[in-house]
Amino acid sequence: RPWATDKLASQEQLVAGRSIWIRDRFGFPPEETADMEHKIEIEVSEPCVFRATTHHSDGVDVFVALSRKGETERACKTLKHPGPVPRQTIFCMLQPGTYVLTFFADYPLGGLHP
């Protein structure tokens, strides 16, 4: 059975811990601005509680989805926050496996730039 520390020797980006809070501003990479979609692969090695939330963004509505790698069905339900600001949260229990967290965006009013 592979050890969890085996990943440390690889070239993959790794974040490990019991409680991880990553909070940062996000912008779509230049090569992804046409599709307005960015995928992050997440490998879960033990059952965990997972939460991802979008926050207010100026001029664009940002959405989030989580699915198992290679599947289109969502692994967790995405919930919309009440109120006028389009925010979403994913909050669920994940079992070990590989998942894809997808951020995607849309301009309001059918794609018209603000």
- Comparing C-alpha atoms, which of 67, 65, 56 is closest to residue 26? 56
What integer pLDDT is reported at residue 114 of this predicted model? Answer: 47
Given a cut of 60, is residue 69 above it in pLDDT? yes
What integer pLDDT is reported at residue 79 of this predicted model? Answer: 86
What integer pLDDT is reported at residue 10 of this predicted model? Answer: 61
The residues near 5 (Cβ < 8 Å, ≥ 6 apart) are: none
Each residue's pLDDT tens digit, 46-65: 888 888 888 777 667 788 89
Given a cut of 90, is residue 74 above it in pLDDT? yes
| pTM score over 0.75 | no
Residue 25, token pair as written in the block: 């501003």
